[in-house]
Amino acid sequence: MNKIKVGRLLVAGLVTLIVFIMVEYILEFIIFDALIGLRNWINQIYTPSSWRISDHVLNILVALVNSIILMWMYAALRPMFGVGPKTALITSGFAYAFIFSFMINFANMRFYPIRPALIEMFFQLIEIPIAILAGAYYYEGGWEEVDQPVTSS
């Protein structure tokens, strides 16, 4: 049980990425666009239409690697915190802190405007836990042993 299942880890990373993209699209481009016209505001400051295909491919590959790293972190934290949603939420807390520190640093260096950075961090607060919970659920094959510390066999 202490061993990390590499095959499931890779697929769980893909599941995490897919769920993250779905939740982000629903939250940002359907709900908030309907409420406050978010898409028009985002298009004024961010223009991915100028990207080349290679930029999109690289963006997706980096996101996939990040998702796999998050699932590896979940798998590594299981022996300390147990199997289940509690560990997935702890993992998402670490991920959020890491992403938040980078976003604030990028805004501080003027690579990214502060207002969009803070709005994006609000969205991340919702998107990251949902995506990691989904990936962890797939990694475990369900929550049969919810929040039980992993013991050596």
Q: Indicate the helix (H) or strand (E) that contains 143.
A: none
Give the separation between CA 125 and CA 64, rounded to whole angstroms.
19
Contact call for residues 60 and 123 (beta carbons, < 8 A) = no
Give the separation between CA 9 and CA 23, rounded to whole angstroms.
21
**Of 9-13, 23-27, 136-140, the least confident:** 23-27
At 90 the pLDDT is: 96
Task: Report pTM.
Answer: 0.81
Which position has the higher pLDDT, 19 or 144? 19
Give the separation between CA 89 and CA 137, rounded to whole angstroms.
12
SS3 150: coil
Strand partners, 83: 148
**Can you give the residue ranges of every domain in the chain?**
6-140
At 107 the pLDDT is: 86
Quickly count: other Cβ atoms within 10 Å of residue 114's Cβ.
13
Whether 51 shows a pLDDT value over 80: the answer reads: no
Whether 33 shows a pLDDT value over 80: the answer reads: no
Residues with Cβ within 8 Å of residue 84, at least 6 apart in sequence:
136, 140, 143, 145, 146, 147, 148
Question: What are the tens digits of pLDDT across the range 88-122?
Answer: 999 999 999 999 998 889 888 988 788 778 888 88
At 40 the pLDDT is: 65
pLDDT tier at 5, thresholds 50, 70, 90: confident
Quickly count: other Cβ atoms within 10 Å of residue 130's Cβ.
18
Whether 35 shows a pLDDT value over 70: the answer reads: no
Whether 14 shows a pLDDT value over 90: the answer reads: yes
At 147 the pLDDT is: 53
Q: Indicate the helix (H) or strand (E) that contains 136.
A: helix 114-140
Quickly count: other Cβ atoms within 10 Å of residue 78's Cβ.
24
